[in-house]
């Protein structure tokens, strides 16, 4: 698959996802609720390698930081198209998000909740505490798999 | 501490005529609203999932989890702030200025220092001091929409 066709497939899936969300979500939920339904990627017409996802994540994360790093509103930052596309990468992006958190707190908490479907840092008061909890959850989960 | 190679004058062109100073390293540990409240260990945000706060963010208990200006004003009330008319320096009062965008949604809060300058945390970047509130006004932060004040307790 060429980068161009991958991008087209990703955009097609995003349109489908947005249509689905608009059709099925109650209208009065908060902004974050609109992006927090665990994504069903079983129908995604795109087979991506982990390397593809890592490269795409880095590209999107850099763009997102450039466009929103000076903003304080998490809702505004989460609604940025690059952040939405990171969420759209689905479960394969979780290791990328966790690796980023190992380097220090970063605002991937909403993305993790959206992709994983559970807030494993619920109750954490600070970004550092939430980052530690997500990393601990990931390490425990992956060690269980081994 | 994280590094930041951003150019504040590009993000906020009106800083070019403001004698601003960078006063901290960049950090994701707190944001402008927390800094305005006098805290440097929390990121204030009403972001939520089905009404429950998302782990990693702080929002004062009992304040609606929405992005509106009234909700942010209510959040600052929990720290002793009350709305006031102007950002003019008044002895004994610590003031904050809340910026909102074209939709009247809060974008930023600056806190007045005892010398009349303002201190702002710029997103996940640095703290700065700036002489005028206009220095941060523009496309991203919008304009100052309201002022609040409380009794000053520090010697800053």
Q: Determine the pLDDT at residue A143.
A: 83
Mean pLDDT computed over A77-88: 97
* A65 Cα to chain B: minimum distance (Å): 9
Q: Read off the pLDDT band of A145 (50, 70, 90).
A: low
A96 touches chain B (CB under 8 A): no
Q: Read off the pLDDT band of A28 (50, 70, 90).
A: very low
Q: Determine the pLDDT at residue A96.
A: 98
Of the spans A43-57, B42-56, B111-125, which averages the highest pLDDT? B111-125
DSSP A68: H
Give chain A positions within 8 Å (CB) of B48: 30, 32
- Do residues A60 and A29 both lie within one domain? no
Instruction: Decide if A40 is inside a domain.
Output: no
User: Model pTM?
Assistant: 0.81
CA distance readout (Å), B14 to A49, A95, B56, B90, B139: 45, 40, 32, 25, 11
Question: Which site among B14, B20, B54 would you substitute to test the A interface, given the most A Cβ atoms closer than 10 Å to its Cβ?
Answer: B54
- Do residues A6 and A68 both lie within one domain? no
- Do residues A73 and A7 both lie within one domain? no
Q: Read off the pLDDT band of B52 (50, 70, 90).
A: confident
Asked whether the beta carbons of B46 and B71 are under 8 A apart, the reply is yes
Q: Determine the pLDDT at residue A3.
A: 44
**What sign does the dihedral B100-B134-B33-B78 (CA atoms) show?**
negative
Please determine, for residue B29, whether its predicted confidence score (pLDDT) is greater than 70: yes
Question: Which site among B20, B28, B55 would you substitute to test the A interface, given the most A Cβ atoms closer than 10 Å to its Cβ?
Answer: B55
Domain span at residue A71 reads: 46-145
Mean pLDDT computed over B100-127: 97
- Do residues A95 and A115 both lie within one domain? yes
Q: What is the 3-state secondary structure (H, E, C) of A79-126?
A: CCHHHHHHHHCHHHHHHHHHHHHHCCCCCCHHHHHHHHCCCCCCCCCC
- Do residues A4 and A24 both lie within one domain? yes
- Do residues A120 and A52 both lie within one domain? yes
Instruction: Decide if A41 is inside a domain.
Output: no
Cβ contact, residue pair A128, B45, below 8 Å: no
Please determine, for residue A61, whether its predicted confidence score (pLDDT) is greater than 70: yes
A35 touches chain B (CB under 8 A): no
Give the integer Cα–Cα distance in Å for B152 and B156. 9
More confident position, B130 or A146: B130
Predicted ipTM? 0.92
By three-state DSSP, how is residue A27 classified? coil
Give the integer Cα–Cα distance in Å for A49 and A61. 18
Instruction: Decide if A105 is inside a domain.
Output: yes
- Do residues A122 and A88 both lie within one domain? yes
- Do residues A122 and A50 both lie within one domain? yes
Q: Determine the pLDDT at residue B1.
A: 42
Asked whether the beta carbons of B132 and B110 are under 8 A apart, the reply is no
Nearest residue in chain A measured CA to CA from B6: A66
Interface A-B: count of C-beta contacts within 8 A: 108
Q: How many residues does chain B have?
A: 156
Give the integer Cα–Cα distance in Å for B113 and A27. 43
* B79 Cα to chain A: minimum distance (Å): 17
Cβ contact, residue pair A122, B66, below 8 Å: no
**What sign does the dihedral A107-A108-A110-A111 (CA atoms) show?**
positive
* A142 Cα to chain B: minimum distance (Å): 21
DSSP A38: P
Please determine, for residue B50, whether its predicted confidence score (pLDDT) is greater than 50: yes
More confident position, B114 or A13: B114
* B59 Cα to chain A: minimum distance (Å): 9
Q: Determine the pLDDT at residue A48.
A: 81
Q: Determine the pLDDT at residue A36.
A: 47
CATH topology of domain B2-151: endopeptidase fold (from Nostoc punctiforme) (3.90.1720)
Give chain A positions within 8 Å (CB) of B122: 70
Domain count, chain A: 2
- Do residues A71 and A9 both lie within one domain? no
- Do residues A77 and A109 both lie within one domain? yes
Q: Read off the pLDDT band of B6 (50, 70, 90).
A: confident
Q: Determine the pLDDT at residue A144.
A: 65
Starting at the earlier edge strand, list the strands of the sheet with B106-112: B21-22, B127-130, B118-121, B106-112, B93-100, B143-151, B82-84
Two tokens, residue A92: 């394969």
- Do residues A82 and A11 both lie within one domain? no
Instruction: Decide if A28 is inside a domain.
Output: yes
Instruction: Decide if A39 is inside a domain.
Output: no
What tens digit of pLDDT does each residue of A10-23 get?
454 444 444 444 44
Asked whether the beta carbons of A66 and A81 are under 8 A apart, the reply is no
**Other CB atoms within 10 Å distance of the CB of residue B135:** 24
* A112 Cα to chain B: minimum distance (Å): 10
Q: What is the mean pLDDT of chain A?
A: 79
Mean pLDDT computed over B28-43: 96
């Amino acid at each position: 698959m060429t980068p161009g066709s991958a991008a087209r497939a990703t955009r097609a899936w995003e349109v489908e996802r947005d249509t689905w969300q608009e059709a099925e979500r109650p209208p009065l939920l908060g902004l974050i609720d609109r992006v927090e339904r665990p994504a069903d990627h079983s129908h995604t017409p795109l087979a991506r390698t982990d390397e593809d996802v890592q490269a795409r994540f880095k590209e999107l994360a850099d763009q997102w930081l450039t466009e929103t790093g000076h903003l304080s509103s998490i809702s505004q930052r989460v609604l940025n198209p690059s952040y939405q596309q990171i969420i759209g990468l689905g479960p394969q992006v979780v290791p990328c998000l966790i690796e980023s958190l190992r380097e220090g707190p970063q605002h991937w908490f909403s993305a993790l909740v959206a992709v994983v479907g559970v807030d494993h840092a619920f109750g954490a008061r600070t970004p550092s505490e939430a980052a530690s909890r997500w990393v601990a959850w990931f390490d425990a989960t992956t060690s269980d798999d081994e | 501490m994280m590094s930041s190679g951003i150019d504040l004058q590009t993000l906020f062109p009106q800083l070019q005529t403001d004698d601003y100073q960078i006063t901290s390293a960049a950090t994701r540990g707190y944001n402008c609203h927390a800094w305005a409240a006098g805290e440097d260990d929390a990121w204030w945000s009403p972001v939520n999932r089905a009404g429950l706060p998302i782990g990693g963010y702080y929002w004062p208990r009992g304040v609606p989890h929405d992005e509106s200006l009234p909700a942010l004003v209510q959040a600052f009330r929990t720290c002793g702030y009350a709305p006031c008319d102007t950002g003019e320096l008044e002895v004994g009062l610590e003031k904050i200025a809340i910026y909102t965008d074209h939709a009247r949604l809060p974008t930023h809060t600056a806190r007045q220092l005892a010398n009349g300058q303002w201190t702002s945390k710029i997103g996940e970047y640095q703290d700065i001091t700036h002489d005028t509130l206009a220095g941060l006004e523009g496309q991203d932060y919008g304009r100052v929409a309201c002022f609040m004040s409380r009794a000053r307790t520090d010697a800053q």
